[in-house]
Amino acid sequence: MKIRVSISALVLSSLIFSGCGSGGTSVSEESFVAGDGVVTFVAKENRSFAPVINGESLLGEKTFIEKEKITVINVWASWCSPCRAEAPALQAISEKYPVTQFIGILTRDSKDSALAFTRRFKITFPTIANDEILLGFRNSLPVTSIPTTIILDKNRKVAARISGAITIASLSDLIEKIDNESAK
């Protein structure tokens, strides 16, 4: 089983991170598939449960999805130019929607670089460094680029994905749309 997970992680990593870059200046920036901010929304009746998302944050805190909360999962790395570009918007949205839970998933990066990134952009929500979590999205809305932002509804089901950098408008619209579903 452990070998299967490791092989799966290797295959997933190669699929996610292969392809043409967006003209970045470092080898790392050129080795990932750049998303284009495309939004995918899943109708309520077609949603799948998200994988278990828990672990120790970069700061050593226990992090997990809280019950009955909309949860925004952002997959990022400090070397990713679009991740740096979207960081202030993500932090602003996390402050705009304090009832919504935000969790980062760090991929292919060092803890020191990630901590420097969170300090620089004043990111207050927790980040877990665990690529295996990404495998759990393969049957719903897989992570195909960095950054990717996945939004879970209050039932822990995958409701939407933004492939590429978010905008305040795109993520705010999705949070509000998903929140309004539960009001009906």
Give the chain's domains with CATH numbers.
2-183 (3.40.30.10)
Mean pLDDT of 153-167: 95
Helix (H) or strand (E) holding 28: helix 27-30
- The mean pLDDT value of the chain amounts to 84
Grade residue 119 by pLDDT with cuts at 50, 70 and 90.
very high
Mean pLDDT of 140-167: 94
Given this model, what pLDDT does residue 37 score?
79
| Amino acid found at 157 | K
Mean pLDDT of 166-173: 94
Q: Is the separation of the CB atoms in 131 and 107 below 8 Å?
A: yes
Grade residue 184 by pLDDT with cuts at 50, 70 and 90.
low
Q: What value, to the nearest 5°, has the Cα angle with vertex 161 and ends 130 and 151? A: 70
Given this model, what pLDDT does residue 35 score?
55
Q: Which residues, at least 6 apart from 141, have a Cβ–Cβ distance to it below 8 Å?
A: 40, 42, 150, 158, 160, 161
Residue 109 tokens read as 């990066």
- How far apart, in whole angstroms, are the C-alpha atoms of residue 6 and residue 41? 30
Length reported for the chain? 184
Q: What is the 3-state secondary structure (H, E, C) of 80-140?
A: CHHHHHHHHHHHHHHHHCCCCEEEEEECCCCHHHHHHHHHHCCCCCCEEECCHHHHCCCCC
Look up the pTM and report it: 0.81
pLDDT (tens digit per residue) in 66-94: 999 999 999 999 999 999 999 999 999 99
Grade residue 144 by pLDDT with cuts at 50, 70 and 90.
confident
Rg of the chain over Cα atoms, rounded to whole angstroms, equals 15
